Structures are given as C-alpha cells and as structure tokens.
Chain A
Amino acid sequence: MESLAIYVPRLVTTKEYFAPGHRACMGCGEALAVRLVCKALGRNIIIANATGCMEIVSSPLPSTSWEVPWIHTLFENTAAVASGIEAGIKVLRRKGKYTKRTKVVAMAGDGGTADIGFQALSGVLERGHDLIYICFDNEAYMNTGIQRSSSTPLGASTTTSPAGKVSIGQTTWKKNMPAIAVAHDIPYVATACHSYPFDLMNKISKAIEIKGPSYIHILSVCPTGWRLPSDLTIKAGRLAIETGIFPLYEVEKDRYTLNLDFPQLRPIEDYFKLQGRFRHLSKEITSQIQERVAAEYAKLKKKATSNNY
C-alpha cells in the first residue's frame, strides 16, 4: 500500500469540486476526505451538508467552495433534507420536469450522524431512499471546540470528557455506526479513510451505482482535536487501520469484505503515542482497549471469512 501514494495523483481526476481556499485547519483529514469524495462523485450530484466543520469552512457568505449544487440547513436533519431532495427529483423526473440521473449525497460529521442526526438518519435508511450518506468521523464535536460525541473512542480526552485525576477521559466505547447502518438492512455499508484514497474513492464509486441507501463511514483525522502535528494526518489514518482500531470493510447485503487485512495488527500504542488526546492513558487502560480492539477485529474477520466463500 505504501507505494500507491506515488500513483494517486496521476490516476485521479484533476478536476476539483471542493475548491481550494476554504478555511479548514492545516492538515485537516476531513477536508481531504471531502475532496476525494467529491472527485469520486463527479458533477452530477446534489449535496446536503449538516452543520459542522465542513459547512463552516466552506461556505461563509458570499463565498463558497462548492462547485456542485450544495445545501446546508441544520445540524440534525441532513438525512431528512437529502431524502426530500431525492424524492423531489423522483417526482420531477416522473413528470418530465427533470431529466438527469442525479445522485443525492448527505454529508455530516460524527455528532451530526451518531448523536443529534441519528433519528433522521435511521428514518432515511429505513425508508430506502436512493442516496449516499457519508459520515466524516473525526471522533468529537470539533467545530465547537472538541467536545465528546458518542463516536469518541474510550480514553480520549476532550473538552467535555477531559482526562483528570479521577477520569480516563471518555468513559464509553465508540458507538458502532456502521453496524447500526447494517442493522437497517441497506444494500451497501462501508468504512473508509482518507489515508487510503483509492479504497475510499472506489467505495464512493460503488455507492453511486447502488440503488437505495448507502452508508459510508470515513475516519477523518483531526490534528486540532486529536492533538497531533498536522503533518501526521495521513500517518495517523494509516495507523488507525494498521492497528485494527478502524478496520476498512464493506458490507454488501449480508456479505462482509475486509478490504485490508493484516497477518499481525500493530499495537495500538503506535497509534496512541502520536496523539495528545491519549497521552494520559495508563498501561492498564491501554491494554484493556487493546483487548477490545483485538476482539472486535476478530469478530469482523470472522464475519468476512464466513460469508466470503
């Protein structure tokens, strides 16, 4: 995988739909992920974007970074707005007032997906709208200043789950959104990370072709919130995958595919030690997390091997 980085710029369209000049932090993994997603989506799309970092950095009036039709309304309703767009296009097409086959894409952060927008997302997945929902997961409310969400991993120190003399930081395990999406029995669920751009873009391309709802969960490294030097974004993303903390996989109907498997996972310390948010963790807690990561990874691998052949 390491050498692929050399070829990426040559094999991907030079057209930008998420234009440069936006106000994202240096080394923002989410901005990179959005850029790659947009390249893979192409121009025949409509994006509904939740409130959050990406909305704020890309759209201060009177400027915009979006070269594709884009709407932001509120924080928790993006899935519902996207479902309206999809339904609107459907009826207009039926009546001959709209002729294109436009894919509708909803984008939100982990707070907008796993917390405040959870109900609207569940509604959309259950109703079977033909759209792609993408969660850009930077594991906390970064836009408002690094507050914990239900997607924040155990042990991470945030401004509302601070590590202290009697606290390890976040005391709950990360909510498993891809599994919840799978439970809605939708045609396509995938995880991705900007540090694996080909894998990410392939998954988006696949989702475009799928009829019905797709859910793509993209781990998006946040140097600001993770207390990480901004030149380590790509590395941190890779380590999240190589340690098994955030496995890259797809679920098509009931079929699980582990896109990248490792004979031996790297120890989670490799990932943790780059980041200030885990700096305070004791060996004991780290080994508890290590156990859980290994167990979850094994479960996933079992699913992938049992139905692959």
Chain B
Amino acid sequence: MAIKRTGMEGSFAIAEAIKLARVEAVAAYPITPQTHIVERLAEFVANGELDAEYIPVESEHSAMSACLGTSAVGARTFTATASQGLELMHEVLYVASGLRLPIVMTVANRALSAPLSIWTDHSDAMATRDCGWIQIFAENAQQAFDLTLCAFRIAEDPIVLLPTMFHIDGFYVSHTIESVEFLEQEVVDKFLPEYRHPYPLDPDKPVTIGAFGPPFIYTEAKKAHEAALRSSKKVILRVWQEFSKLSGRHYSPVESYKAEDADVLLLCMGSFSETAMMAIDKMQAEGQKVGLIRLRLWRPFPTEELRQAVSKAQVLIILDRALSLGGTPPVCSEIQAALYPLKTRPKIVSFVGSLGGREISAQGFEEVIRHGVDKAKQGELDEFEIIGVRE
C-alpha cells in the first residue's frame, strides 16, 4: 500500500515515478515548462539513483529520434517536452507510433508561438491529436505521478505496444508544489515488470524496422495501427483498475464530478477542471443542477463512456483550451461527432478560453456556465465564443 506522502512539485513527482519505473533511457532537450522533469532525472542519473542512459540531445527532434533508437533495442524509454518542442518532434511522433515503440512522454502543455508564450494552454496537445499515440490528461501532481507509472504498463503491454503521451498543464502542474502520495519501490516493481520488446534490433535475430509501404500495403498498415490504438482502451481500463487496487486512486476515461442529476454539464480537460469543481460545488449548494465532466483519455477517444456520461443532460458546455483556427474548437468538434448519432443528446455550447495562461477563476467558471445556459436557451449554438477576450 501507499506509504509516503510528501509535498512536491509536479515535475519532481513525475521524475520520482520515472525513477520508480526503472526507466533505462532518457533523451531530452530543455524547454519551459517541462525542464524541471529532465533536470531532476539528470540528477538521479548523476547520483547513481537511476541506472539509465541520459542522452542530452541537441534538439527535441533528436530527443524523440534517440528515443526511437533506445526503444527499438528494448530499453524502457522516457522523454518530456512542451509546446514548440512537441511541434519540432511532430513528424517523429508518427514514426514512434507507426513502428509501435512504447515510448512514454510527458508534455507540459504550453501555448504555441506566435506570439511567443511560455504559459499553458492545449494548443500543443491538440496539434498532435492525430499522431497515433495514446494520450491521457492529468490534472494535478498526484495524477501525474500515478498516470506516469500506468503509462509504462499500458504502452508496453504486448497487445498495445504504442507510445503514450500524458499531458500536464505547464506551471499549474509542472511547477506547483502539491501533496503527493508515493508508492514503494517493491510495489512498483510488482506492478511494472521489466520491459522486453518482442522484436528488438538484435544481430542474433535480424529484423528490418521501418521499411517503406507501397500503396498495396500502406492502408493495411494504417488500419492495423488504428485497430491497435482502439483496442488499447481495454488495456488502459485494466491497468487503471489494477492500479486502483494498489493505490486506492481510481481513474476512468471520462470522469464525472457531481454530474448524476445535472441538467447542465461543463466539460473540460486538464488542471483547471479543479477550479471548475469549486464553481460546481458553489452552484450546487445554491440548488442549481450543474455538474462537471473531465475528459481524461483523449486518444483512443472514449466515445462510449462519453455518451454515457453526457447523453442525459440538457446542456453540455464545452470549454476548449485551444483553437482550431478557422474551424470548430478541437474538443468540441470531437464531442459533437461522438454525440451526433444519438437520438437524444444535449445542446452543445462551445467556448474557448484560458489561452496562453490566462486565468479562469472559480467565479469565472460560474459565469461560463451561466452564459452557456443562456446561450442554450436562446438557441445560440452555431458558433463558438472565446471567453474573456477584450474586443
């Protein structure tokens, strides 16, 4: 059982999880707000606390590329990045998933330039939506610690073998000191056995990895990738269930907060869900039937669980933390697509907010919900609205 509880910065909690996971290779490049994670890992390696190869590469592109190499020979591999770094890795992400290399990566979510912003939003996460990785959102340091450990179990499962990216909000999670409950090494060792890739690069059993796919085979290869990503959900559920027995902390693809009898639901992702909870608490105390839905699993998209969670509500207010410039905000468009085939579904109100680190307070969330309800009443559902913007 869990024993230690310590006040610790989110980044360091993740680094602790990496150490407990006995990660064998880390290739990383500094970028705010991720850097504390890999700095701490470098210290662990330097002090002999973690027996791993630490490759201080010259770019994020090379970070992910080196991870391809370490993972392809069968070493448990981790990296972390954010924002521009994730964008620089972009093409390598598709290779990692297409080659089925179970790399685990933390993304400390941050806005994309221009204008340059080091502060958090989900633009970076959404830009990598289609790269074929498993993608999970954590809201606080504890979740980041837990989900890091789970990420390796999920990624390395022989029927999954897919890279896994988990998102934490830059600064809000990466730099905030929170109370975190840790697990003992023996417990983690039992939960997360040694990693063995079934087809590593090995002169005794030569394999060709990364051959090119002519038109007669490319579609089949991508279909197989799609099927693998979809079917990873049952492994994710199983691993989270097992973890919950171990730690007493439960995780689900779609998590509801006081949403059972709610007519109005707010849906969001990431750390500001916790601020939204305060608004929900207050509004419920005032007798309003409002609840909160947090999307934890982003890829594979949990269509079934989402439908179950929201289909009874009358209004679903979706707060995206990224734009799809010139189109529908990404989370909203995904949810609209998931709910469209249903006979009864809530009215969807789409907001975008908290871009580039702009705060939304608990009171701000109350306003968002009230404004969303008004819009639903008036049938103003055609277009999304950026909230809190100075015109």
Within the complex, what minimum Cβ distance (angstroms) separates A293 from chain B?
A: 34
A108 at the interface (CB under 8 A from B): no
Distance in Å from the Cβ of B375 to the closest Cβ of chain A? 46
Which of these, B55, B65, B194, contacts A77 with CB under 8 Å?
Answer: B65
Mark the stretch among A2-10, A93-101, A157-165, A282-290 that contacts chain B: A93-101
Q: How many residues of A contact B (CB 8 A)?
A: 50
A61 interface neighbour in B59, B73, B217, Cβ under 8 Å: B217
Interchain nearest-CB distance for B152 vs A (Å): 16
CA distance A64 to B70 in the complex (A): 22
Residues of A within 8 A of B147 (CB): none
Say whether A80 contacts B75, CB under 8 Å: no
User: Does A89 sit at the interface, judged by CB under 8 A?
Assistant: yes
B91-99, B132-140, B231-239, B310-318: which one contacts chain A?
Answer: B91-99
- Say yes or no: A81 contacts B206, CB within 8 Å: no
User: Which residues of B lie under 8 Å from residue A94 when comparing CB positions?
Assistant: 51
Q: How far is the CA of A119 from the CA of B212 in the complex (A)?
A: 24
Within 8 Å CB of A120, what residues of B? 58-59, 61-62, 65
> What is the chain A residue whose CB lies nearest that of B195?
A97
Cβ contact of A98, chosen from B51, B68, B73, B77, cutoff 8 A: B73
Residue in contact with A88 in the complex, picked from B53, B62, B205, B206, CB distance below 8 Å: B53
Which of A62, A69, A87, A123 lies in contact with B62, CB distance below 8 A?
A: A123
**Residue pair B201, A87 in contact (C-beta under 8 Å):** no
How distant is A145 from chain B, measured CB to nearest CB, in Å?
Answer: 17
A69 touches B206 (CB 8 A): yes
A86 interface neighbour in B59, B63, B69, B210, Cβ under 8 Å: B69
Stretch from A44-52, A168-176, A219-227, A238-246 contacting the other chain = A44-52
CA–CA, A38 to B390, complex, Å? 64
> Which of A44, A64, A83 touches B208 (beta carbons < 8 Å)?
A64
Summed over the interface, the residue pairs from A and B with CB atoms below 8 Å come to a total of 171
- A residues within 8 A CB of B285? none
Q: Is A43 positioned at the interface, with any CB of B under 8 Å from its CB?
A: yes
A95 touches B212 (CB 8 A): no
| Pair B73/A68 contact, Cβ less than 8 Å | no
Complex Cα spacing A89 to B74, Å = 8
Interface pair B208/A87, CB less than 8 Å apart: no
Task: Answer whether residue B57 sits at the interface, using C-beta atoms and an 8 A cutoff.
Answer: yes
Contacts of B51 in A (CB 8 A): 91, 94-95
Q: Is A127 an interface residue (CB 8 A)?
A: yes
- Out of B24, B27, B201, B210, name the residue touching A46 (CB < 8 Å): B201
Q: A73-B92, A94-B51 are in contact. Are A59 and B72 (CB under 8 A)?
A: no
Interface size of B in residues (CB-CB distance below 8 Å): 47
B interface footprint on A58-74 (CB within 8 Å = 1, 0 otherwise): 01111110111111111
A87 touches B92 (CB 8 A): no
Q: How far is the CA of A290 from the CA of B264 in the complex (A)?
A: 81
Shortest Cβ distance from B213 into A: residue: A61
Closest A residue to B216 by beta carbon equals A61
The answer to whether B209 and A80 touch across the interface, beta carbons within 8 angstroms, is no
Q: How far, in whole Å, are A3 and B41 apart by their CA atoms in the complex?
A: 58
A102 contacts partner chain B, Cβ-Cβ < 8 Å: yes
Check A92 against B74 for contact (C-beta < 8 Å): yes
Is B159 on the interface with A (CB-CB < 8 A)?
A: no
CA distance in complex: A127, B57 (Å) = 8
Instruction: Give the shortest distance, in Å, between A66 (CB) and chain B (any CB).
Output: 5
The reply to whether A127 and B55 form a contact with Cβ atoms under 8 Å apart is yes
Once A90-B53, A119-B58 are accepted as A-B contacts, the answer to whether A66 and B92 lie under 8 Å apart by CB is no
In the complex, which residues of chain B have a beta carbon less than 8 angstroms from the beta carbon of A77? 61-62, 65, 68, 92
Q: B200-240 interface mask toward A, CB cutoff 8 Å, 1 = contact, 0 = none?
A: 01111111111111100100010000000000000000000
* B217–A62 touching, CB < 8 Å: yes
A-contact 0/1 string along B47-86, CB 8 Å cutoff: 0000111011111011101111111111101000000000
- Chain B contact residues, CB within 8 Å of chain A: 24-25, 27, 51-53, 55-59, 61-63, 65-75, 77, 91-92, 95, 99, 194, 201-214, 217, 221
Q: A59-B212, A61-B211, A87-B53 are in contact. List 20 more A-B contacts (CB 8 A).
A: A46-B201, A56-B212, A59-B210, A63-B211, A68-B203, A71-B69, A77-B61, A84-B55, A84-B66, A85-B73, A87-B25, A87-B27, A87-B69, A87-B70, A88-B24, A88-B74, A91-B70, A119-B62, A120-B58, A127-B57
